[in-house]
Amino acid sequence: MAKTTGLPLAEARRRSAPRGALNQVNALIYLVLIVVGIISVIPFIWMLLTSIKDYGDVMSLRFWPWPPLGNSTPRFDNFAEAIRLIGVDRDTGLPMFFRHVLNTLLVTGIVVASSVATSVLAAYAFAQLQFPAKDVLFILVLATFMIPEELVLVPRAVMMNKNYLNWYNTIPAMVAPFLADAFGIFLIRQFFLQVPRELYDAARIDGAGHLRYLAMIMVPLAKPAIVTLALLEFIWTWNEFRWIQLVTASSNMRTVSVGLVGFLQTDGGSQTQLAMAVAVMVVLPIIILYLFTQRYFTEGITTTGLKG
């Protein structure tokens, strides 16, 4: 009897309890995300505030030296001072910082365009086409993930040398290793796999070949994934330090990240506020780009399995 009367109650509890528990779990997840979000932003806030502080305020360890807590005024001259200290490119007469920015834009543009193009084409082949040893080839592509960057860094740099490709201190050397990206191939392939095969069949009936189907149907569908990849490639290339440092010789061939590290690495001491001013200028383009592509970025990571 107890069983018969107890069952509906237990059923009711089972139905309502998970909803409550789910809300609690969600609330906890949100709380953790908020905390992580705030922690992630703190260094940026510190960097931003330090970049407009007076040297004395930095030395006095004052977090907010301006009114109402202090009497200082924001020092925006730090940006001009930092650019002046980085020096001038003798070839062009440009401030070296702007030369670094131009180099970075060029390198980043080439890498983003190339890696997106090669990723889309290769991903389509792996997702849509049938050819011998497809799976083995895909595993080989994925296997490149497993090789630590440090292991291939020096051999790659040696290849750029005058005894081999003779690309040392040139744009081709700076971009060569990044023109195709296994991660990009994997990312886009994951998205392409979700597209129903029937779409392709319908396109074929309408007379579309592979290239047309890719360009007219798959690429527009995969826009969030492609934008995500482009943004990630942009960030990685913009921030690339070690490779550029290895394969360039003259200062006017370097990028902003290498220039920034050079500015930070001083003997004896440093002017933190100027270093942070350079850091802000280096990071700013990424932040702006992210603000414009945020929607695609969020969609991209939630539709390609990247969310885990």
Partner 1 sequence: MIRKVLPVVATLAVFAAACATPAPQQAPAPTEAPAPTTAPAQPTEAPAPTEAAPAQPTEAPAPTEAPAATGVDAITLSKDKPTEILFWHRYSGDAQKFVESFVEKFNAENEFGIKVTVEKIDGSYADLYSKINAAIEGGTPPNIAQAYQNQASFYRLDGNVIDLSPYIRSAKYGLTQAEIDDYFPFFLESDKNPQFPGEVLGWPTSRSAAVLYVNLDWLKELGANEPPKTLREFEELACKASDPANERYGLAWQNDISNFAALVFANGGRVLSEDAQSYVFNSEAGVESLALLRRLFENKCAVEIPSAERFGEQNRFAAQKVLFVMASSTGLPFYADAVAKSEKPFRWTYVMFPQKDPNKPVVDIYGASWSVFKGTPEQQLASWLFLKAFTEPENIAQWAVASGYMAVRKSAAPTAIEAVKNNPRYANFPEAAEAYARLYEMVAFGAVEAPVAGYDPVRKLMSEVVSKVAIKGEGDIKAALDEAVAQANEVLKENAPKGY
Binding site for partner 1 (CB under 8 A): 30, 33-34, 36-37, 39-41, 43-44, 47, 54-56, 58-61, 85, 153-155, 157-158, 160-164, 168, 232, 235, 239-242, 245-246, 249-251, 254, 257-270, 272, 279, 282-283, 286-287, 290, 294, 297-298, 301
Please give the C-alpha separations between residue 127 and each of 102, 122, 176, 239, in angstroms, as whole numbers: 37, 9, 26, 31
Token couple for 112: 């983003």
Q: What is the residue whose two structure tokens read 């131009």?
A: 102
Q: CA geometry: angle at 80 spanning 74 and 82, to 5°?
A: 100
Query: In 3D, which of 285, 284, 270 has the Cα closest to residue 47?
Result: 284
DSSP symbol at 209: -
Cβ count near 28 (within 10 Å):
10
CA distance 6 to 293: 54
Query: In 3D, which of 47, 92, 110 has the Cα closest to residue 272?
Result: 47
Instruction: Check: CB of residue 183 under 8 Å from CB of residue 93.
Output: no
Instruction: Check: CB of residue 97 under 8 Å from CB of residue 83.
Output: yes
Instruction: Check: CB of residue 149 under 8 Å from CB of residue 155.
Output: no
Phi, psi of 88 (to 5 degrees): -125, 140
Token couple for 83: 């650019």
Measured between its terminal Cα atoms, the distance across the chain in Å is 47
Q: Would you say 90 or 212 has its CB closer to partner 1?
A: 90
Residue 69 Cβ, how far from partner 1 at the closest point, in Å? 14
